[in-house]
Structure 1
Amino acid sequence: MKRLLLLAALAVTVAGCGEKAEPTGSELPRQEPFTVMLDYFPNADHAGLYAALDAGLYQRAGLDVKLQAPPDPSAPLKLLAAGKADLAISYTPELLLARDSGQEDIVSVGALVQKPLTSLIALPSGGVKTAKDLAGKNVATSGIPYQSAYLKTILANADVDPTSVKEINVGFNLTQAMLSKKADASLGSFWNYEGVDLQRRDEDPTILRMEDIGVPTYNELIFVARRQDLDEAGAARLRRFLSATAAGHRLLKQNPKAGVDALLKADKGLDAGLQEAAIKATLPVFFPVPPDPEDRAAPTTITPPANVKDLPWGWQEPIVWANYERWMRSENLLTRPPSEASPLTNEFLPGEGLAESSRDR
C-alpha cells in the first residue's frame, strides 16, 4: 500500500512537470530492452535508478531495463563502445580521456551526480586538517593520472612545496592505507561513501572536497551514449529512460528508504545502514546546482546562475565542462586538439526540446 501511495504521489509530480502521463493499471506498453552498464557494483550512487526499477517506472515507460555491474571499473566505456550496452555510467575525466584517445562518438547525455565525490580524506593520526597540512606528508592515491593532477593543483593552491609530499599508489586500498598508517591522507575516495563509512565507524575523518581546495568542479557521474545509437528510435528510448530515472530520483528524495530497499534486493550483501546514510548524504548532488560565481574553482567569466527549479534533472552546465576540460589540458592530460563535437548534450533530458538547446553550444 505504501508503494502504491508513493507511486500515486509520483504520478502527480510527473504530471506537474509537464511529462507525458504513463499508462495505469494493466495498460503497459511494449517493453524494449535497455541495458545500462554501471560504473561499479550497485551502491548508493545508483539508488535512484534502482528505486525507479523497483517501482516499475521503467516498465511503465516501455523499457525492460537491465542495470549491469561491470567486470572491473575500467570496463564501462569499453563495453559501451563494443555495443554491449545502450548506456554507460562513467566519470567526466574518463569520458574526456576516451574522446582524446579517438572515441569521439561517445557523448555525455546527462549527469547522475552533479558535484565531485572524489575527496581528500585524513584520519586524526595523519595530522591533516587543511590542504596546507599536506606538507611533509604521504598521500595515498589509486595511481590514476588525473588524481595525481588533482594533488598537484591542490598543493599549488595551498602554496605547499610539491617536493615535500610523497604520493603513494595503493590501488583501491585507500582507507586501509590510512588505517595502517601507511599514508597520512588519501585522495580518490568518495566523501559520500568511504567518508560516510568512516564517520559511522567513529574514525573522525577530515574530509576535503575537490571543489573546495582548488580543483575545478565537474559532474562526478554521468550517463554516456554512442552518437550512432541516437537515431530516432534510440533517442526516444533514451528520453524515456532519463524521464523515468528523473522520476526515480524524485521518489528517492521523498522516501530514501525506497532506494535502500531496492539496492538490497539487487545485492543482499550490502550494509543497509551505510547505504541509507550514503543516500541521504548524496541527495543534494543528485539534483542540478547552478554554478556559483563566488566559487574560486569556477570559471572567471560565468553566466548568471539559472533558477535551479528551471533546470531539468540531469542538467549539465556547458561552462563547467569547458572549464574542467581547460584544466585537463593545462595538466597535459588531454593532448589532441579539441573536437568540434561537444562532449555533452542536454537535449534528451526531461522537458528539453528535440533540437539541441542553444545552451549546449
Structure 2
Amino acid sequence: MKRNRSVLMLLVLLLLGSPAGGEEKLSLMLDWFPNVDHVPLFVARQGGIFLKHGLSVEIQSPSDSADPLKLAAAGHVDIALSYQPQAIIAASGGIPLKAVGRLVGSPLSTLLFLDGKGISSPADLEGKTIGYTVPGMMDHLLDAFAAVNEIRSFTPVNVGFVILQSLAAGRVDAVMGPFKNYEPVAMEMEGYTASFFELEKFGIPSYDELVFVAGTMIWNRKGETIRRFLDAVEEALAFTKAHPEEALALYFEAVPEAPREMERKAFEKTRPWFGPDTRLDAVRWKTFAEFALQWGMIEKEVNVHEIVAER
C-alpha cells in the first residue's frame, strides 16, 4: 500500500507540473552513508519532487566524512551536505565555498558517554580520555567545549565512527560528535544506555547541523539551478512533516539495506529537527564564527556574508 502511494504521488507530481524531459543534472554528496537524517532528500528523489522542479539529482556517499566539502569546493560535485562548524573552519582556511541552505537547522552533535561512569557534568571530564569523530571539526569543537567549561586536562583520541566499541572497551570515557537522534538509539539496541551533553546547552552557540555547500565556482555557474534544488528540498521537508510514514517508506524504498527497526526509532527522534525550511541565518552564522575565532577553533576571521549565499 505504501509503495502504491509513493507511485501515485509521483504520478500526481508529474501531471501537475513536471517538465517533459531535459532535466538539469546535479550531483549531491551526503555527509556520510544514507541514514534517516537524509529522509527529505530521498523523498524529493523517490517522490518525483526533484523531477517536478526540472532536476535530476545523483545522490552519492563519501568514503570519508571530510571528503564532501573538499570535493564540492574543488567542483568535483555540485553540492555537498556538510556541517556548519566544518564550513566555518574550511572558509577560515581559505577554501572557496558557498553555504547555500540547510537540511537540519539545530545541533544534533553531542558529547556522549555511557551511564554509570560517574559523569554528570562537564567538570567530571577533567583528566579523562575523550574521543572525537570527525578530524578537523570535532576535535576543534572538543577543544572549545573544554575551554568554555573549564576542563583543563584531558586526552583527545580520534575514534572515527567506532563509537560504541571505544566506549564499551573503556578506550575513551566520552566521545565528541555522536548525534543525539542516532547513536543513543543504536546503543540502546545493543543493551547500553547513553547520556550526553547537548553542546548548545553548555556554551557552544546554536548552529545548523547539516548544511548544503557548493564551491564558489559552481555557485556562480549553477546558482539558479541550486536554488531550484533548495525549493525542491523545502517541498520535501513539508511532505516529510505532514506525511512521516510515507516519507520513511520512500526512504526505505531507496535504501532497502537500511536497518529498519533502528532507523524507524531514530527517525522519530529526528523529525523535530528538520528544517523547517532551507534558509540560512547570516546573523547566527556570524555568532558562531565569532565564537570559533574567540576560542581558537579558527585562526582567521570569517566574513559570513561572503560565504552565506543570498537566496
Alignment TM class, shorter chain as reference: 0.7 to 0.9
Aligned twin of 2:100: 109
Q: How does 1:181-196 map onto structure 2 within 5 Å? A: 181-196=170-185
Superposed CA deviations along residues 73-114 of structure 1, whole A, max 9, x for unmatched, are 12112222332222111111222222222223x110101111
Q: Which residue of 2 aligns with 1:249?
A: 237
Match of 2:129 in 1: 138
Match of residue 297 from structure 1: none
Question: For 1:139, what is the secondary structure of its paired residue?
Answer: strand
Check the 8 A contact 1:126/1:185 in 2, yes or no.
no
Q: Which AA in structure 2 matches 1:58?
A: F
For 2:64 and 2:139, how far apart are their aligned partners in 1? 21
CA displacement, residues 144-202 of structure 1 (integer Å, 9 cap, x when unaligned): 35433433443444444x22x33333232222111112222211111111122223444
Partner Cα separation in structure 1 for residue 159 and residue 219 of structure 2: 39
Normalised by the size of structure 1, how large is the TM-score? Answer: 0.77
Q: What displacement does 1:24 show?
A: 2.2
Cα-to-partner distance string for 1:51-73 (whole Å, 9 max, x where unaligned): 11111111111111111112321
What residue is the counterpart of 2:186 in the other structure? Answer: 197
Q: Deviations over 1:237-281 (max 9, x none)?
A: 112211111111111112323343333333332101222222221
- Counterpart secondary structure, 2:207: coil
Specify the SS of the correspondent of 1:263: helix
2:75 maps to 83
User: Aligned to 1:133, what secondary structure does the other structure show?
Assistant: helix
Corresponding pairs, count: 308
Q: 2:117 aligns with which of 126, 145, 150?
A: 126
Among 147, 166, 180, the residue aligned to 1:177: 166
Does residue 1:67 correspond to 2:70, yes or no? no
CA–CA distance in 1 between the matches of 2:304 and 2:249?
44
Given the alignment, which residue of 267, 272, 275 partners 1:279? 267
2:283 pairs with 1:319? yes
Aligned pairs (5 A) from 1:32-71: 32-71=24-63
Question: Whole-Å Cα distance in 2 between the matches of residues 2 and 143 of structure 1?
Answer: 38
Identity of aligned residues (%): 28
- The structure-2 alpha-carbon separation of the partners of 1:5 and 1:118, relative to structure 1 and needing over 3 Å to count, comes to same
2: CA distance, partners of 1:4 / 1:69: 25
Instruction: Describe the SS at the equivalent of 1:265.
Output: helix
Most deviating of 211-220 and 29-38: 29-38
1:328 to 2:258 alignment: no
Q: Is the 8 A contact 1:89 1:221 kept in 2?
A: yes
Query: How much does 1:3 deviate?
Result: 3.2
| Inter-partner Cα distance in structure 1 for 2:41 and 2:90 | 25
Unaligned 5+ segments in structure 2 are: none
The 8 Å contact of residues 119 and 191 in structure 1, kept in 2 or not, is answered as yes
State yes or no: 1:342 paired with 2:310. no
Q: Which residue of 2 aligns with 1:268?
A: 256
Structure 1, unpaired ranges of 5+: 12-21, 289-312, 348-361
Q: Distance in 2 between matches of 1:337 and 1:187?
A: 24
After superposition, the C-alpha distances for 1:107-132 in whole angstroms (9 at most, x for unaligned) are 10101111111111111242212223
Superposition map of 1:158-177 within 5 A:
158-160=149-151, 162-163=152-153, 165-177=154-166
Q: Secondary structure at the match of 2:256?
A: coil
Q: SS state of the match for residue 342, structure 1? A: helix
Corresponding residue of 1:30: 22
Structure 1 contact 137–184 (Cα < 8 Å) conserved: yes
Q: Following superposition, which runs of at least 4 residues in structure 1 exceed 6 angstroms of deviation?
A: none
Of structures 1 and 2, the one with the larger relative CO (CA 8 A, separation 6+) is: 2
Query: 1-side partners of 2:18 and 2:216: how far apart?
Result: 34
State the one-letter code of the partner of 1:129: S
Structure-2 change in CA distance of 1:186 and 1:336 (3 Å): closer
For 1:74, the aligned partner's letter is A
2:206 aligns to what SS in structure 1?
A: coil
Q: Is contact 1:23–1:29 with CA below 8 Å preserved after alignment?
A: no
Distance 1:274 1:25 in 2: 36
One-letter code of the match for 2:264? E
TM-score with structure 2 length normalisation?
0.88
